[in-house]
Chains A and B, each alone.
Chain A
């Protein structure tokens, strides 16, 4: 079945540092890929998405490129802020029967220190 492997956390960075969170996937077809963010005590927010190979998703300074050849969708940000502290989930979506399903990675806790 489909699966998502995500970089283990926790990750602790200083403000303005460069962030990379690795994500690789296994899928039978052509999935869409997502990064979700969850701030403490809140639900899931879609951070960015890519629906086909070589697409680049971007939002709030975060970027990720859909790399089919390496089955990867790594999240990057050039300069993190304290407010970026959250748990980040990589996910893929494929059609399964009559409805799509989301498969999540294990999540990476990011803490940014001032």
Chain B
């Protein structure tokens, strides 16, 4: 299994909603990442988890809350988002010691 899965594919939420994005991989990778991508722009790194510990937080607003319950699963909890947070949210994983990143298909988020 060389796949990163993300659910849901699409999400529409209001500014007062709480929702979560889910990412899963079963490749035994110990580093997992959240990226945010606006249309026609490169992905921007949000968070990095290494061995289930948060190792990088790129000054992301607290309305985004990551969680890594185990080595296969990565969540992104969303609360009180703004319309400008509408974007494609990409999850990726990599194995320690190798430069290869595996990306999921993304969750397209729309905040109304």
Mark A residues whose CB is within 8 Å of B: 31-32, 34, 36, 42-46, 49, 51, 87, 89, 93, 96-102, 104-107, 109
Q: Contacts A43-B88, A44-B103 given; indicate if A99 touches B96 (C-beta within 8 A).
A: yes
Size of the B side of the interface (Cβ < 8 Å), in residues, is 25
Q: What's the minimum C-beta distance from A86 to chain B, rounded to whole angstroms? A: 11
* B76 at interface by CB-CB < 8 Å: no
Q: Are B90 and A44 in contact (CB under 8 A)?
A: yes
Q: Are B99 and A93 in contact (CB under 8 A)?
A: yes
| Binary interface encoding of chain B residues 87-112 relative to chain A, with 1 for a CB under 8 A from any of its CBs, else 0 | 01010101010011101111000000
Q: Contacts A43-B88, A107-B41, A109-B40 given; indicate if A99 touches B50 (C-beta within 8 A).
A: yes
Per DSSP, chain A at the interface is strand
How far is A105 from B40 in the complex, measured between Cα atoms in Å?
A: 12
Q: What's the minimum C-beta distance from B12 to chain A, rounded to whole angstroms? A: 16
Mark B residues whose CB is within 8 Å of A: 31, 33, 40-43, 45, 48-51, 55-56, 88, 90, 92, 94, 96, 99-101, 103-106
A-B pairs with lowest CB-CB distance, top 10: A32-B99, A104-B42, A43-B105, A99-B50, A99-B31, A98-B50, A43-B106, A93-B99, A44-B103, A99-B48
> Which of B40, B50, B99 has the most chain A CB atoms inside 10 A of its CB?
B99
Q: Contacts A100-B31, A104-B42, A105-B42 given; indicate if A49 touches B100 (C-beta within 8 A).
A: yes
Q: Which residues of chain B are near A104, meaning CB under 8 Å?
A: 42-43
Other contacts beyond A98-B55, A99-B55, A104-B42: 19, CB < 8 A: A32-B99, A34-B101, A42-B105, A43-B104, A43-B105, A43-B106, A46-B101, A87-B40, A89-B42, A93-B99, A97-B50, A98-B31, A99-B50, A100-B94, A102-B33, A102-B101, A106-B41, A106-B42, A107-B40
